[in-house]
Chains A and B, each alone.
Chain A
Amino acid sequence: MAKHTGRGFAAIEYPTGMNQNGDPSQAWIKVKPDGRVDVFAGTSDIGNGSKTIQSQIVAETIGVPYEWITYDNSNTDSSPVCTGTFASRATFVAGKAVEKAALEVRGRILDIAGKELEIDPGDLEIVDGEVVAKGAPQKKISVPDVAAAATWGHGELITGTGAQLKPYAAIVDPESGRVDLPPHSAISYAACAAEVEVDDETGEVRVTRLVQCYDVGKAINPTLVEGQIEGGAVQGLGLGVLESCYPFYPSVEHRGGEFGTYLAPGMEDLPSIETIIIENPSTDGPYGAKGIGEMANNSQPPAIAAAVFDAVGVWVTELPITPERVLRALEAREGGDGGPRRDGKKVVFDEELSVNAVSSGGVRFEVPA
């Protein structure tokens, strides 16, 4: 009767944007007569902070303070199309659309400023809400003054639109799965090491430490990135050791209909979390960003499974890794029964779970040689 510690590790990858693309996002921006910027985009913020990220992108791209941005994603009358907040596309795809719209706005501001200052727009830049001549900073005009000039002098609405759409990548050969174009916007990468403590009397698996590494391309807002990583880590922990809609799957009996019978992770389940961020920029994301939201819960379950093996010598490959499953595996091992079957060069695990054991022939998994 003892607690055993173990370590496990997993390395993963995840595509950004809808698989096979064809998922547009659009944005439009207008500038008020005092230079404040209104952004209209259709991206729902589900907590991931897309309102914040897209506002940061616009502020940076135009060259005005973040506080000058108003962001409206509230309805389909004023906002253009955004396919949705999923597939880790809110920063990469939708963010690219707002970046494009912001670039158009920047261009219009520089054009009008150029007329006001009588300087070629190509020799101007926008810094902190001011249009300044490169190398001659005494020649400047504020963005609010440019906006006022546009409104009451030039008779122009300063606006910009942006649309991001990677063309649909069709499967040209369904037998091999080959496609005619890359079927994703970018691929993100991550790795995770897990430390667990397994009680060999109760079977309970406690995840004590998660060490994670994420390549996010560019952290547009590092705090928001941390939020995704931490939230994802706990969801991954839930997927690995706690949660199941159908505790006796494939039976549908005994579903948990409330907190307490469905085991969503609580504060008490929180391990220590250390994270390393890498920034290898993407070639076509806004400021080199890649996606982070979805993959954040993918690396923990396999790292935990490997850690459980390291701790007590059994592989549990049905999730969640419940105390019951651990104890049954330990019992099977005590009975001499838990290891793989060896057959020539084959090492065969989990035979009792296979389709070959359960199906009456309708589906089989045959391995060559």
Chain B
Amino acid sequence: MKAVGARLPRYDGVEHVTGRTTFVDDVRVPGTLWVKALRSPVHRADVKGLDTSPAESMKGVHAVITWRDVPLLEYGHLSALGIPADEPLLAKDDLRYKGQPIALVAAEDEETAQAAVEAIVLDLDEQEPLLDIRRAFDADAPVIHQWGNWYPHFEAEMDRRQIRKGDVDWAFEHADTVVQGVYRPAAIEHVPLETQVCLVVPEANGRLTIYSCTQALYFSLGVVAAHLQVPLNKLKLVGGTVGGGFGGKVDTATETMCSLLALKSGRPVKWRWTREEEFLCSSTRAPWHMEIADAVTKDGWILGRKMLTLHDSGAYARFSPYGLTKHSFHHTGAYTIPNLSFDGYVVFTNRVPTTAMRGFGVTSVSFATETHMSRIAEVLGLDPYEIRLKNANRIGDTSPNGVVYTDPSTVPTIQAIADAMGRELPADHRTMSRQPREGSLLPEHLVAQLGNPEEH
């Protein structure tokens, strides 16, 4: 092969090193207005009054938008996956996170736009926020979302993502040891070097050209079209060259609002988030709370796992039900555990809505299950490589929800690391492979979970 497998230079490599790569903020359109946002100053409040007239009448201000200007205020970005809409594009009756956008201003320059934002009169009745997902289910918890404090619209209107496999009671009864732990990875920021930015140009033929930093041109096209209630060809999304995304530029956080300002003012508008907005107001990776109890034998078989996951979705659902579902499908990590009971909840809190970030849903479960595995090895006095090799997925093993593994590489990756770290594995562990379980690697308790790789 000539091109595939070759260390060819980047397609846009020379543009990058000569400063010629055009990012959204580098596009210059004469007459572009600056955009600034009025954002919620508190974590939770009822909106008693919103008076934008001082901003609208300010010299240099060309348009102000609020929820009233949005043709379809709430649109579920993943409604095609059955996740209903819950989040207004601009806040209407209440505020649910500090930083939530309420009104936007397009003005001649940055200073005027900022002054106009500060002139808007906002009358709030502050409420007690809910911040700890572990308390969200309690009778005395404030109820902060129209659906209750956790997402209730999984299939069959279940209020949790559930995985059941085999007989978890049997596993715990037959365990020699039960190891329990709690794992809490944090919310982190995407920190792209390019902050959220959007430029919208109204065209003479009535179309809008939207210069977007989105990671997903067509996904964002669909979101904007839905909010504006227009057919897809009314909009042209221009982009495809992004200054870092990592999952934080799928939310379509700026495009619709800028489109509305462009329509209302008749002028091109640009909204570039400050780094402070990017750190404090942009959606984040989710904090997760995971509790694992593993039923293990003294020679290191994991007979069963019981797990509870609480996913901190922040103020709205966004992609959280999707992330939790992915998490649940992978909650055994790279290992074959035949008896399972998993319950996961998408929980709302009064913080910035959480979203996808590199590894979405699985980053958390990898942290929990792998740290737990290391702990099990330590508690049982077993080698951390050997215990993993023994339980590792093999061809024909099945996943938590019964999907057959056709090609798992866990064994060779573990062996390669052991080799690189100078760990001398016992001979039988050095010759282990991905091939289907047999002999001592197929104890009785793993027989029932086997599937047929040919069928998939």
A adjacent to B, CB under 8 Å: yes
CB within 8 Å of B: which residues of A?
A: 7-15, 19-20, 22, 42-47, 49, 51-52, 55-57, 59-60, 65-66, 71, 73-77, 79, 81-87, 128, 171, 174-179, 182-184, 186-187, 189-193, 211-215, 218-224, 232, 235, 238-239, 243-246, 249-252, 255-259, 262, 264, 274, 276, 278, 280, 282-283, 287, 293-299, 301-303, 305-306, 309, 315, 317-320, 340, 345-351, 353-355, 358-363, 365, 367-369
A262 and B181 alpha carbons, distance in the complex (Å): 28
A329 to chain B, nearest CB (A): 14
B128 to chain A, nearest CB (A): 13
Choice from A14, A222, A350 contacting B5 with Cβ under 8 Å: A222
Interface membership of B392, Cβ < 8 A? yes
A239 and B186 alpha carbons, distance in the complex (Å): 8
Choice from B10, B134, B289 contacting A52 with Cβ under 8 Å: B10
Residue numbers in A under 8 Å from B289 (CB-CB): 353, 355
B:216-254 near A, CB below 8 Å: 216-219, 221, 232, 235-247, 249-250
Sampled A-B contacts (16; CB under 8 Å): A7-B421, A10-B370, A11-B414, A12-B362, A15-B329, A46-B244, A52-B12, A84-B215, A189-B408, A250-B349, A274-B420, A297-B358, A318-B186, A340-B379, A345-B176, A369-B175
Are B326 and A15 in contact (CB-based, < 8 A)? yes
Are B310 and A355 in contact (CB-based, < 8 A)? yes
Are B138 and A258 in contact (CB-based, < 8 A)? no
Are B136 and A362 in contact (CB-based, < 8 A)? yes
Interface membership of B131, Cβ < 8 A? yes
Choice from A49, A190, A359 contacting B134 with Cβ under 8 Å: A359
Are B358 and A232 in contact (CB-based, < 8 A)? yes
Are B185 and A319 in contact (CB-based, < 8 A)? yes
B:268-326 near A, CB below 8 Å: 275-276, 279-280, 284-285, 287, 289, 291, 293, 295, 306, 308, 310, 312, 322, 325-326
Closest residue of chain B to A69 (Cβ to Cβ) is B11
Residue numbers in A under 8 Å from B139 (CB-CB): 360-362
A364 and B59 alpha carbons, distance in the complex (Å): 58
Are B242 and A221 in contact (CB-based, < 8 A)? no
Interface of B is mostly: mixed
Choice from A303, A306, A347 contacting B180 with Cβ under 8 Å: A347
Residue numbers in A under 8 Å from B402 (CB-CB): 176, 178-179
Are B177 and A11 in contact (CB-based, < 8 A)? no
A47 and B362 alpha carbons, distance in the complex (Å): 22
Closest residue of chain A to B211 (Cβ to Cβ) is A75
Closest residue of chain A to B177 (Cβ to Cβ) is A345
Interface membership of B53, Cβ < 8 A? no
B:328-365 near A, CB below 8 Å: 328-330, 333-334, 342, 345, 349-352, 356, 358-363
Are A358 and B134 in contact (CB-based, < 8 A)? yes
Most chain A Cβ neighbours within 10 Å, of B138, B158, B326, B374: B374
Are A262 and B191 in contact (CB-based, < 8 A)? yes
A102 and B261 alpha carbons, distance in the complex (Å): 41
Residue numbers in A under 8 Å from B421 (CB-CB): 7, 9, 193, 211
Residue numbers in B under 8 Å from A220 (CB-CB): 4-5
Most chain A Cβ neighbours within 10 Å, of B219, B295, B370: B370
Are B216 and A85 in contact (CB-based, < 8 A)? yes
Are A317 and B182 in contact (CB-based, < 8 A)? yes
A215 and B172 alpha carbons, distance in the complex (Å): 34
Give the 10 A-B CB pairs with smallest separation, nearest first: A84-B216, A362-B137, A302-B370, A350-B182, A189-B409, A46-B245, A306-B374, A174-B155, A10-B370, A362-B138
CB within 8 Å for A19 and B214 given contacts A178-B401, A347-B178: no
Most chain B Cβ neighbours within 10 Å, of A52, A293, A367, A369: A367
A31 and B162 alpha carbons, distance in the complex (Å): 51
B181 to chain A, nearest CB (A): 4
Closest residue of chain B to A176 (Cβ to Cβ) is B164
Interface membership of B388, Cβ < 8 A? yes
Count chain B residues whose beta carbon lies closer than 8 angstroms to a beta carbon of A: 151
A320 and B189 alpha carbons, distance in the complex (Å): 13
B333 to chain A, nearest CB (A): 6
Residue numbers in A under 8 Å from B137 (CB-CB): 359, 362-363
Are A369 and B172 in contact (CB-based, < 8 A)? yes
Interface membership of B366, Cβ < 8 A? yes
Closest residue of chain B to A261 (Cβ to Cβ) is B279
Closest residue of chain B to A367 (Cβ to Cβ) is B293
Most chain B Cβ neighbours within 10 Å, of A11, A56, A306: A11
Closest residue of chain B to A72 (Cβ to Cβ) is B240
Are A13 and B330 in contact (CB-based, < 8 A)? yes
Residue numbers in B under 8 Å from A219 (CB-CB): 5
Choice from B5, B129, B329, B409 contacting A177 with Cβ under 8 Å: B329
Interface membership of B412, Cβ < 8 A? yes
Are B417 and A246 in contact (CB-based, < 8 A)? no
Are B3 and A56 in contact (CB-based, < 8 A)? yes
Are B215 and A44 in contact (CB-based, < 8 A)? yes
Are A317 and B181 in contact (CB-based, < 8 A)? yes
CB within 8 Å for A297 and B401 given contacts A20-B325, A191-B414, A367-B178: no
Closest residue of chain B to A224 (Cβ to Cβ) is B10
Interface membership of B7, Cβ < 8 A? yes
A368 and B238 alpha carbons, distance in the complex (Å): 55
Are A66 and B328 in contact (CB-based, < 8 A)? no
Are A302 and B371 in contact (CB-based, < 8 A)? yes
CB within 8 Å for A221 and B363 given contacts A9-B374, A319-B186: no
Most chain A Cβ neighbours within 10 Å, of B342, B362, B405: B362
Residue numbers in A under 8 Å from B168 (CB-CB): 368
Are A9 and B384 in contact (CB-based, < 8 A)? yes
Residue numbers in B under 8 Å from A282 (CB-CB): 407
Are A355 and B239 in contact (CB-based, < 8 A)? no
Residue numbers in A under 8 Å from B8 (CB-CB): 52, 56, 66, 221
Residue numbers in B under 8 Å from A309 (CB-CB): 374-375, 378
Residue numbers in A under 8 Å from B400 (CB-CB): 177
Are A349 and B181 in contact (CB-based, < 8 A)? yes
A42-B240, A192-B417 given; name 8 further pairs at CB < 8 Å: A44-B242, A51-B12, A84-B218, A183-B403, A191-B413, A245-B189, A317-B184, A355-B291
CB within 8 Å for A306 and B11 given contacts A252-B351, A355-B310, A362-B139: no
Closest residue of chain A to B173 (Cβ to Cβ) is A369
Residue numbers in A under 8 Å from B333 (CB-CB): 11-13
